[in-house]
Amino acid sequence: MWDQGELDEARSEFEAILAHRRDSLGDTHPDTLTARHELALVLRDQGELDRARSKLEAILAHRRDSLGDTHPDTLSTFQAIAGRNVLGSPSNWPWDRCFYSLSLWRLPPIRRSC
């Protein structure tokens, strides 16, 4: 639905998924955080930028505490916050954190044995 532009329907589905995960797993379980992350992205796409950013920042805090700064899920949430649609103009972007985030994704050099 989301990828087809049906944002209202996608939002309803993510809200239902989130409610179920909160009830069964708790608010800070990794699967619940993923549902919260996805719902925040739908909110962003619906133009609710302040609300999306607030939700993503809360998710980031939980992921940093439980998974650490370099976990892919933590970096994914940070990337969503650093994205243009949430922060607006590139002059508002936290460039130092963006470059740090990107540096964590670098792959080690390939070593060839002959």
In a domain, 28, yes or no: yes
Question: How many domains is the chain partitioned into structurally?
Answer: 1
Residue 2: DSSP 8-state: G
- Which residue, chain included where needed, has tokens 């994704």? 105
- Which residue, chain included where needed, has tokens 């607006």? 88
What's the whole-number mean pLDDT along residues 26-39? 93
pTM above 0.75, yes or no: no
Rounded to a whole number, what is the largest CA-CA distance in the chain? Answer: 56
In a domain, 63, yes or no: yes
In a domain, 111, yes or no: no
In a domain, 46, yes or no: yes
Say what the pLDDT of residue 2 is: 47
* CATH code, 65: 1.25.40.10
What's the whole-number mean pLDDT along residues 13-38? 94
Say what the pLDDT of residue 8 is: 86
- Are 10 and 1 within 8 A, CB to CB? yes
**Nearest partner of 46 among 73, 93, 14, judged by Cα:** 14
Q: How far apart are CA 36 and CA 11, in angstroms?
A: 11
In a domain, 114, yes or no: no
pLDDT tens-digit series, residues 33-85: 999 999 999 998 888 888 999 999 999 999 999 998 888 898 889 888 887 55
In a domain, 30, yes or no: yes
Say what the pLDDT of residue 107 is: 46
- Are 8 and 2 within 8 A, CB to CB? no
**Nearest partner of 36 among 90, 86, 20, judged by Cα:** 20
In a domain, 52, yes or no: yes
What's the whole-number mean pLDDT along residues 79-98? 58
Domain span at residue 64 reads: 2-104
In a domain, 71, yes or no: yes
